[in-house]
Amino acid sequence: MARTAPPRYINRELSWLEFNQRVLDEAADATIPLLERLKFLAISASNLDEFFRVRVGGLQMLVNQGVVRPDSSGLTPEEQLAAIHERVQRMTQEQHRIYAELEPQLAAHGIRRLRSEELSKAQRSVLQRVFDEEVYPVLSPMAVTSADDFPLLSNGLLCVCVRIKPRQEGDADRYAIVPCGPGVTRFLSLPSEAAQAFILLEDALALLAGRFFPGEAVLECVPFRITRNADMELREDSASDLLEEMQQLLFERRVGDCARLELGEQASANLEGFLRSTLELSDTEIIRQPGPLELSDFFRLTDRPAADVLKYEAWPPQPSSSIPAGSAMFDVIAGGDLLLYHPYESFEPVVRFVEEAANDPDVLAIKQTLYRTARDSQIVAALLRAAERGKHVTVIVELKARFDEARNIEWARQLEQAGAQVLYGVKGLKTHAKVCLVVRREPQGIVRYMHFGTGNYNEITSRIYSDTSLLTCDRDLGMDAAAFFNAITGYSHAPRYRKIEAAPIGLRDKLLEMIRAEIEFKSQGQPARIDVKVNALVDPLLIDALYEASQAGVDVRLNVRGICCLRPGVKGLSENIEVVSVIDRFLEHARILHFHHGGDHRMFISSADWMTRNLDRRVELLVPVEDPVCRDRLMRILNAYFDDNVKSRKLLSDGRHRRLTSGKREPFRAQERLYEEARRADQLAQQQQRTTFEPHRRGA
């Protein structure tokens, strides 16, 4: 029987699960400090929660609607759900295997989880007091008899289901639900010789649940958790008030259909059957967990004081060596383009750029996009000050930034009250572009200063996400930025830009044009190469173009952190394509592109991943980096990721990843090298500053 050729594309959902497996592999890596391993474990659990809320919930809707059309990998929605269920079962088992491995090691370092059977008399006494004072008055059990009176539990809320003995022989068991709301900590501290001893709230409830039901016999008390479908789209066409419509959407996400029930492994068949029938679940929608539910909660333990040996060595963001101490950002940018690479270099210059613009009397206008911001955002505070001082402030606040909608609604209201012109994104699209335009009056005339980035205007995530910033006053880019904002804020059609490209109109076409140019150079016997760093590669048109480039002999190197639907290394299709993925202490987020272009190297940064949604349903930017110094540095950064042989994994043609090893080469860890380069550059700049003699002048 002839072998069937593998599908042309890897399934998107299974590719995402393999990405999460790479995160989980870091938790299993014994060379990583203990609390960092726990952090990776928590991240993998949090990632899986979002996967069920969005991707699995959406597939379940398709199945319920009777959709049987296969995706590009050849799998129907029902087949995808079956494959996901099998893969997730193995992944969750491994998560709990790793947790069971970490727990005794944490205990050896004074971070000890106590079980009820381990409690001493003194600890039981303390727990009873804490329970009576802090738990019993806050939590409220709710009796349940059927689906009709089952409480409306919030998405992802940890709960316990209590089974109570019937009052009379022959009656059915009785059940109650106790939601563990945010008012009670999950980690209840207890006195111990260990530095940090605690018992989980659900374990305490299992021990003391009888206090909620005096005179009753509690048969079992088992934790469970519902993950609801959050794959719901905003009804923009019918929305009379976008803010009100978004608030309604947030409510619907909290109460959507159940996509997954996580249940403690100790649950009896009776208790599981009760939850199954009341929630109307199938077998594949129930996942029994052999250890604590909501492992993402254990992220909290990693923030507690601990010995240095349990955490990574600190890598504080370094000042940029290109920015002299005390210099105004406008002066620095006027002296030449500035490229920053975070978090190795501090995000502070970007914040200072907006703050100085807010305070500068010569600044006439600030225009900025906001997608995800910090809770106490310095950038939003600067925009508020600028508006209050009478500057023309235009802010495009994307209300549809999934899971950040509530915060963005609040920022939008505050900015409006301060007098800023606020737009809630673009109808039918998400504004994902990262750009700030400052218009300043100078002696020679109006000058436009800009920041273009690959990451959000978020001071917190800028310390843990790797992203690129370009600060420039290039005249053509300034004209493009102004045209970009005017196209979004007005009713105008997408303009013809001088240098940038924007989705959803021209960005994909520009990428296809650059790929085809490499094919043409190769056909002429010239060197041809494409190097791309993105977070996801899904778009079939771009994948097919890369396949075509490979078949033409173009060397293609791809660094894809997450989903990759391209199948590399297939003879006759993609043997000239190499795909690697780097998972390390910082989340890789920068999008960097290089095209050899006959030796006239073209470098770009972008807000867009190579996904159909980014290219067709989002407002995104592709920005050239033309300054020779910035361009060369960006190329060195990009090459570092392809040189990594410590934290890099190679994508195989069957969709699996294989960890790269140094072999005979020196170990090369991209993130460590990039941090060392930033640190050395700052040290050199400080040395030069100390050896530069500046005379005092009269009156200075």
Which of residues 184 and 241 earns the better pLDDT score?
A: 184
Question: Which is nearest to 432 in space by CA: 244, 617, 249, 247?
Answer: 617
Lookup: tokens for 362: 């010569």
Per-residue pLDDT, 158: 95
Per-residue pLDDT, 183: 82
Per-residue pLDDT, 246: 42
d(CA 50, CA 57): 10
CATH class of segment(s) 329-499: alpha beta
Q: What is the CA radius of gyration of the chain?
A: 28
Report helix angle 378-388 to 405-418, nearest 10: 20
Query: H-type helices in 290-369, by residue range?
Result: 299-302, 329-334, 348-359
> For residue 468, what are the β-bridge partners?
341
User: Where do we find the tokens 């078949």?
Assistant: 551
Q: Binning pLDDT at 50, 70 and 90, where does residue 676 land?
A: very high
Averaged pLDDT for residues 661-686? 91
pLDDT surpassing 90 at residue 293: yes
Contacts for 129-134: CB closer than 8 Å, 24+ residues apart: 130/188, 131/204, 131/208, 131/211, 132/211, 134/184
> Exposed, middle or buried, 658 (CB in 10 Å: 0-12/13-18/19+)?
exposed
Question: CB count, 10 Å around CB of 698?
Answer: 4
Contacts of 98 (CB under 8 A, 6+ apart): 24, 27, 28, 37, 41
pLDDT surpassing 50 at residue 650: yes
In tens, the pLDDT along 77-136 reads: 999 999 999 999 999 999 999 999 999 999 999 899 999 999 999 999 999 999 999 999
CA distances to 11, 21, 351, 540 from 73, in Å: 5, 20, 43, 11
Question: CB count, 10 Å around CB of 282?
Answer: 10
Question: Which is nearest to 265 in space by CA: 99, 118, 96, 402?
Answer: 96
Angle formed at CA 605 by CA 628 and CA 488, multiple of 5 degrees: 125
Per-residue pLDDT, 428: 82
pLDDT surpassing 90 at residue 323: yes
pLDDT surpassing 50 at residue 621: yes
* DSSP string computed for 485-547: HHHHHSSPPPP--SS-EEETTTHHHHHHHHHHHHHHHHHTT---EEEEEES-B--HHHHHHHH
Question: Which is nearest to 418 in space by CA: 394, 451, 453?
Answer: 394
Averaged pLDDT for residues 179-190? 90
d(CA 455, CA 546): 25
Averaged pLDDT for residues 234-258? 48
pTM of the predicted protein model: 0.91
d(CA 308, CA 575): 45
Averaged pLDDT for residues 434-440? 98
C-beta of residue 252 within 8 angstroms of C-beta of residue 232: yes
In tens, the pLDDT along 138-168 reads: 999 999 988 788 888 888 899 999 999 998 8
pLDDT surpassing 80 at residue 243: no
Per-residue pLDDT, 241: 45
How would you list the strands of the sheet with 158-164, edge to edge? 142-144, 174-179, 158-164, 218-228, 258-264, 286-289
Averaged pLDDT for residues 239-263? 58
pLDDT surpassing 90 at residue 666: yes
CA distances to 57, 367, 486, 501, 542 from 610, in Å: 23, 26, 26, 14, 7
Averaged pLDDT for residues 680-691? 82
d(CA 487, CA 507): 15
Averaged pLDDT for residues 190-213? 90
Per-residue pLDDT, 313: 93
d(CA 330, CA 359): 12
Sign of CA dihedral 186, 137, 180, 131: positive
d(CA 11, CA 59): 13
Averaged pLDDT for residues 199-227? 93
d(CA 665, CA 659): 15
Contacts of 679 (CB under 8 A, 6+ apart): 318
pLDDT surpassing 60 at residue 232: no
d(CA 495, CA 507): 13
Q: Which residues of 472-488 are buried (b: 16+ CB within 10 A; e: fewer)?
A: bbbeebbbbbbbbbebb
Which of residues 597 and 152 earns the better pLDDT score?
A: 597
Q: Binning pLDDT at 50, 70 and 90, where does residue 661 land?
A: confident
Contacts of 254 (CB under 8 A, 6+ apart): 154, 155, 228
User: Where do we find the tokens 């639900």?
Assistant: 177
Tell me, what amino acid is at 2?
A: A
Q: Tell me the average pLDDT of the chain.
A: 90
Per-residue pLDDT, 573: 96
pLDDT surpassing 70 at residue 233: no
Q: Binning pLDDT at 50, 70 and 90, where does residue 291 land?
A: very high
The percentage of residues in the chain with a pLDDT greater than 70, rounded to a whole number, is 92
Q: What is the total residue count of the chain?
A: 700
CA distances to 35, 554, 582, 643 from 663, in Å: 29, 27, 18, 13
Averaged pLDDT for residues 482-500? 85
The residue extents of the domains of the chain are: 12-310, 329-499, 502-687
Sign of CA dihedral 211, 213, 219, 224: negative
Q: Binning pLDDT at 50, 70 and 90, where does residue 251 land?
A: very low
> For residue 176, what are the β-bridge partners?
143, 162
Q: Binning pLDDT at 50, 70 and 90, where does residue 249 land?
A: very low
Q: Binning pLDDT at 50, 70 and 90, where does residue 250 land?
A: very low
Give the 3-state secondary structure of 201-220.
HHHHHHHHHHHHCCCCCEEE
What kind of fold does domain 502-687 have according to CATH? Endonuclease; Chain A (3.30.870)
DSSP symbol at 369: E
Question: Which is nearest to 499 in space by CA: 428, 590, 435, 427?
Answer: 435
Lookup: tokens for 235: 């009804």
Parallel, antiparallel, or unpaired: how do β-strands 174-179 and 142-144 relate? antiparallel
Lookup: tokens for 409: 């609604």
pLDDT surpassing 80 at residue 270: yes
Per-residue pLDDT, 196: 81
Q: What is the largest CA-CA distance in the chain?
A: 100
Contacts of 3 (CB under 8 A, 6+ apart): none
Domains 329-499 and 502-687 share a fold: yes
Q: Which of 89-98, 118-127, 252-261, 307-316 has the lowest mean pLDDT?
A: 252-261
Q: Binning pLDDT at 50, 70 and 90, where does residue 691 land?
A: low
432 is catalytic: yes
d(CA 642, CA 640): 5
pLDDT surpassing 90 at residue 316: yes
Q: Binning pLDDT at 50, 70 and 90, where does residue 559 land?
A: very high
Per-residue pLDDT, 491: 59
Architecture in CATH of 12-310: 2-Layer Sandwich (3.30)
196 phi and psi, to 5 degrees? -135, 85
C-beta of residue 205 within 8 angstroms of C-beta of residue 211: no
Per-residue pLDDT, 303: 83
pLDDT surpassing 70 at residue 240: no
Q: Binning pLDDT at 50, 70 and 90, where does residue 681 land?
A: very high
Which of residues 490 and 251 earns the better pLDDT score?
A: 490
Per-residue pLDDT, 495: 83
C-beta of residue 221 within 8 angstroms of C-beta of residue 208: no
Lookup: tokens for 65: 């609607």
Catalytic residue among 85, 392, 432, 594: 432
